[in-house]
């Protein structure tokens, strides 16, 4: 068997151009993709309202109001719980000052750098208040602009969804239109399943973390339960980060070693339940990406788009996988990305029937 070097080179060049295009097109593509994924999530509701004889414009507007209400409610809940944590900021500051003092003393004892010299180094390294304010204003402006763009894309992608689908169908030959329509349907359906399943799993994690942290006596247990559940959006890294923050803040509050061990034990138990019950039953094996490519797409997402790239990496890869599974020439890539085995019968199927998922 011979390998066509020109073909391999073309594929590598094509892949490089895609990655470069994603990097430089971030300001345009990121809000568009977030808006598109959110529109896909609300698509069943929008279709249902239209079947109830509501006009398309009114149905889309009601979906927009519901999305804004959900975001507002969630942000309000988060800030309410953050305000409870902030009430203990004086204690946290004291603990941090004590830790800083011990670090300075260690540096002086081992590196012979006086505290005055350390302060001079820190002062030279710190940016000015003007630069800090410029960064904050620029970040806030960028966030507001991006958020408005996401809402605009969300509205118009929902409103023109049929028009866009017909455009895609017109690009294909008549003999392949049925297959393309099936691919579009499956891609939309799989993204809905992933996002709805992820939302259900996060709510289950909120309950389990909330009960677990409250039982063992973690201060501000509800806040840390919400934090750990929400960070599940980022596989592997998110839940570890949430639990680490819970342990660190609890330690700053003077938690005992048994309590810190209880936090770690609670985390391990919930992760076991999540991995062997919640994910297979709620999210479903057909949208599962194997661990290797989960890490790869998370790293690439962070390198290309930062935190939004990490959040978007998994749903975009799940949609790409379902496209590969339905296009003959791309099926090997779908196989490579997916899990090695998908159980057909047994405990998972029984649980799905029991929970009517």
pLDDT in tens, 200-223: 888 888 888 888 888 888 877 888
Q: What does the angle CA 115 – CA 117 – CA 120 come to, to the nearest 5 degrees?
A: 115
Q: What does the angle CA 56 – CA 62 – CA 68 come to, to the nearest 5 degrees?
A: 135
pLDDT tens per residue, range 17-38: 888 888 888 888 888 988 988 8
Cβ(287)–Cβ(318) below 8 Å? yes
The owner of tokens 């001079």 is 120
Considering only residues 60 and 98, tell me which one the structure prediction assigns the higher pLDDT.
Answer: 60
What pLDDT shows up at residue 345? Answer: 47
What is the rounded average pLDDT of the residues 114-126? Answer: 56
Considering only residues 260 and 106, tell me which one the structure prediction assigns the higher pLDDT.
Answer: 260
pLDDT surpasses 90 at 338: no
CA–CA dist 50, 318 (Å, integer):
28
**Number of other CB atoms surrounding residue 308 within 10 Å:** 17
- Residue 338: phi and psi, rounded to 5, are -80, 180
Which residues are 338's β-sheet partners? Answer: 289
Cβ(271)–Cβ(111) below 8 Å? no
Cβ(308)–Cβ(30) below 8 Å? yes
128: left (phi over 0), alpha (psi -120 to 50) or beta: beta
pLDDT tens per residue, range 293-323: 878 888 888 888 887 887 788 778 877 887 7
256: left (phi over 0), alpha (psi -120 to 50) or beta: beta
- Residue 52: phi and psi, rounded to 5, are -85, 20
Share of the chain above pLDDT 70, in %: 73
Distances (CA, A) of 302 to 21, 238, 311: 15, 13, 9
What pLDDT shows up at residue 61? Answer: 93
Cβ(280)–Cβ(345) below 8 Å? no
What is the rounded average pLDDT of the residues 332-351? Answer: 63
With cut-offs at 50, 70 and 90, classify the pLDDT of residue 88.
low
Residue 31 tokens read as 């809000």
pTM equals: 0.70
In whole angstroms, what separates CA 115 from the centre of its chain? 42
Q: At what angle do helices 115-125 and 89-111 cross, to 10 degrees?
A: 120
What pLDDT shows up at residue 186? Answer: 73
CA–CA dist 155, 132 (Å, integer):
35
Cβ(220)–Cβ(250) below 8 Å? no
- Distance spanning both ends of the chain, measured CA to CA: 47
Task: Compute the residue count for the chain.
Answer: 357
What residues have CB less than 8 Å from 168, skipping those under 6 apart? 180, 184
pLDDT surpasses 90 at 90: no
What is the rounded average pLDDT of the residues 133-138? Answer: 68
pLDDT surpasses 80 at 111: no
Considering only residues 74 and 157, tell me which one the structure prediction assigns the higher pLDDT.
Answer: 157
Tell me the three-class secondary structure of 265-297, residue by residue: HHHHHHHHHHHHHHHHHHHCHHHCECHHHHHHH
Question: Could you please report the per-residue DSSP string of 199-255?
Answer: HHHHHHHHHHHHHHHHHHT-TTHHHHHHHHHHGGGSTTHHHHHHHHHHHHHHHHTT-
Q: What does the longest C-alpha to C-alpha distance in the chain come to?
A: 79
What pLDDT shows up at residue 63? Answer: 92
What is the rounded average pLDDT of the residues 139-164? Answer: 88
């Amino acid at each position: 068997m011979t390998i066509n070097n020109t073909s391999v080179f073309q594929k590598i060049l094509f892949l490089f151009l895609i990655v470069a295009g994603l990097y430089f097109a971030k300001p345009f593509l990121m809000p568009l993709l977030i808006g598109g994924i959110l529109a896909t999530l609300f698509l069943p509701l929008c279709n249902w309202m239209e079947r109830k004889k509501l006009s398309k414009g009114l149905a889309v507007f009601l979906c927009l109001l519901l999305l804004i209400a959900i975001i507002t409610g969630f942000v309000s809940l988060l800030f309410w719980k953050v305000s409870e944590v902030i009430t203990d900021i004086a204690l946290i500051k004291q603990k941090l000052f004590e830790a800083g003092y011990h670090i300075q003393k260690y540096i002086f004892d081992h590196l012979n750098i006086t505290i005055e010299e350390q302060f001079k180094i820190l002062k030279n390294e710190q940016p000015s208040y003007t630069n800090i304010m410029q960064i904050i204003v620029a970040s806030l402006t960028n966030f507001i602009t991006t958020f408005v763009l996401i809402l605009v894309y969300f509205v118009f992608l929902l409103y023109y969804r049929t028009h866009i689908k017909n455009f895609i169908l017109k690009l294909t030959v008549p003999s392949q239109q049925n297959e393309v329509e099936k691919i579009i349907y499956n891609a939309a359906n799989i993204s809905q399943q992933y996002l709805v399943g992820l939302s259900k799993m996060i709510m289950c994690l909120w309950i389990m973390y909330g009960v677990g942290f409250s039982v063992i006596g973690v201060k501000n247990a509800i806040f840390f339960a919400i934090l750990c559940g929400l960070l599940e959006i980022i596989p592997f890294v998110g839940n570890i980060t949430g639990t680490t923050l819970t342990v660190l803040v609890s330690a700053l509050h003077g938690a005992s070693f048994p309590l810190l061990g209880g936090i770690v034990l609670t985390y391990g138990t919930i992760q076991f339940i999540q991995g062997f019950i919640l994910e297979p039953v709620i999210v479903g094996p057909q949208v599962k990406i194997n661990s290797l490519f989960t890490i790869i797409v998370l790293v690439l997402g962070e390198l290309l788009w930062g935190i939004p790239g990490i959040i978007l990496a998994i749903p975009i890869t799940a949609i790409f996988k379902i496209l590969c599974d339905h296009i003959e020439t791309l099926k090997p890539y779908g196989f490579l990305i997916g899990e090695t085995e998908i159980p057909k019968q047994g405990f998972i199927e029984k649980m799905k029937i029991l929970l009517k998922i």
